[in-house]
């Protein structure tokens, strides 16, 4: 498909650096099939279907209130903490194809398989060490040597080790906002999840801390599959390989990030990525 060189989407593609497609075969890590979700009587998701590719970054974009967070939260069953919610359809996690939203699956188990990081850094009021250890305790790991090793590994993966290695017993609250968010990423990574969910992880951070998290995402994706909600189009283009555009609880368009940003198939997607609405 050729683009009109004067169209806004085309200009956008020239201005925006896109994440490089990683090498190697593509494997589906999770399949979302006709996923519907209700908060009580309000239906927030209307049959979303899409693949989540292994060790790739998938960006979820769309105007405020369109269901991005709701969709992301289905993957680790955070909704189950509230009464009156209901799921239909499935999110099948490969290779076992367990349905993450099945009532028969323990949400605690799901949260070990699927880590999550929120918009505002939310470390526990505990030491740096204890924050990262939290998910490991849930997994039943008590051996000090094993804990130490896994905590160091997670902090290294989150690009925080060098900054905190001599002060692991310090309160997490003494860290900067950007460091706290990397600590939350380390905490999510420690149980070695299959999927990492990031819900606008940089929206509370300054540009330097944001750049560090974006670099980190680029490195992490060699080991873990990442789903990220972002309202920042340039960020989605910089760090993701696949993009899902949502509107009013529906998946309007899904595709390779390059395609979504340069040759969207749906007019609504084009309007959104070029900043004409949302």
Ligand X SMILES: Nc1ncnc2c1ncn2[C@@H]1O[C@H](COP(=O)(O)OP(=O)(O)O)[C@@H](O)[C@H]1O
Residues that bind ligand X (CB under 6 A): 39, 42, 44, 62, 64-70
Residue 105, Cα to own-chain centre: how many angstroms? 21
Smallest gap from Cβ 71 to ligand X, in A, equals 7
Tokens of 190: 């420690």
With binding defined as CB under 5 A, does residue 202 bind Mg ion? no
The span of 43-51, 68-76, 154-162, 237-245 binding Mg ion (CB under 5 A) equals 68-76
Smallest gap from Cβ 69 to Mg ion, in A, equals 3
Smallest gap from Cβ 277 to ligand X, in A, equals 14
Residue keyed to tokens 């925080």: 160
Q: Which of 79, 86, 78, 72 is nearest to 246 (CA)?
A: 72
With binding defined as CB under 5 A, does residue 70 bind Mg ion? no
Q: How many whole angstroms separate alpha carbon 56 and alpha carbon 52? A: 8
Smallest gap from Cβ 79 to ligand X, in A, equals 8
Query: Which one, 67 or 264, has the nearer CB to ligand X?
Result: 67
Give the one entry of Mg ion, ligand X, none that residue 277 binds, where binding means its C-beta sits below a cut-off of 5 to 8 angstroms depending on kind: none
Which residue blocks in 121-250 are alpha helix, DSSP H? 128-138, 144-157, 161-164, 177-189, 207-220, 233-239
Give the one entry of Mg ion, ligand X, none that residue 65 binds, where binding means its C-beta sits below a cut-off of 5 to 8 angstroms depending on kind: ligand X
Q: How many residues bind Mg ion (CB under 5 A)?
A: 1
The CA distances from residue 247 to 64, 66, 112, 141, 272, in Å, are 9, 5, 30, 42, 10
Q: How many whole angstroms separate alpha carbon 78 and alpha carbon 152? A: 27
- CB-closest chain residue to Mg ion: 69
Q: How many whole angstroms separate alpha carbon 183 and alpha carbon 160? A: 7
Smallest gap from Cβ 73 to ligand X, in A, equals 8
Smallest gap from Cβ 82 to ligand X, in A, equals 6
Give the one entry of Mg ion, ligand X, none that residue 175 binds, where binding means its C-beta sits below a cut-off of 5 to 8 angstroms depending on kind: none
Q: Which of 115, 77, 90 is nearest to 33 (CA)?
A: 90
With binding defined as CB under 5 A, does residue 69 bind Mg ion? yes
Query: Which one, 72 or 158, has the nearer CB to ligand X?
Result: 72
Query: Which one, 69 or 157, has the nearer CB to Mg ion?
Result: 69
């Amino acid at each position: 498909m050729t683009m009109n060189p004067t169209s806004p989407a085309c200009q956008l593609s020239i201005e925006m650096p896109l994440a490089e497609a990683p090498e190697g075969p593509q494997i589906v890590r999770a399949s979302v099939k006709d996923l519907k979700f209700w908060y009580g009587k309000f239906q927030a998701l209307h049959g979303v279907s899409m693949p989540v590719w292994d060790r790739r970054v998938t960006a979820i974009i769309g105007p405020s209130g369109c269901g991005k967070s709701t969709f992301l939260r289905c993957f680790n069953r955070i909704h189950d903490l509230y009464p009156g919610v209901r799921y239909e359809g499935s999110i099948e996690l490969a290779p076992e194809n367990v349905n993450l939203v099945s009532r028969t699956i323990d949400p605690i188990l799901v949260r070990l398989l699927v880590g999550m990081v929120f918009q505002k850094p939310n470390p526990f009021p505990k030491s740096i060490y204890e924050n990262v250890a939290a998910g490991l305790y849930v997994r039943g790991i008590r051996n000090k040597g094993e804990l130490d090793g896994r905590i160091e590994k997670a902090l290294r993966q989150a690009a925080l080790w060098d900054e905190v290695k001599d002060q692991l017993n310090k309160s997490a609250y003494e860290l900067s906002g950007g460091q706290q968010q990397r600590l939350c990423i380390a905490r999510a990574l420690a149980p070695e999840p299959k999927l990492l969910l990031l819900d606008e992880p940089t929206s509370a951070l300054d540009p330097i801390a944001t750049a560090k998290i974006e670099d980190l995402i680029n490195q992490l994706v060699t080991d873990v599959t990442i789903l990220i909600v972002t309202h920042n189009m340039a960020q989605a283009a910089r760090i993701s390989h696949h993009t899902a555009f949502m509107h009013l609880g529906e998946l309007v368009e899904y595709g390779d990030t390059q395609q979504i940003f340069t040759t969207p198939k749906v007019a609504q997607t084009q309007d959104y990525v070029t900043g004409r609405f949302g």
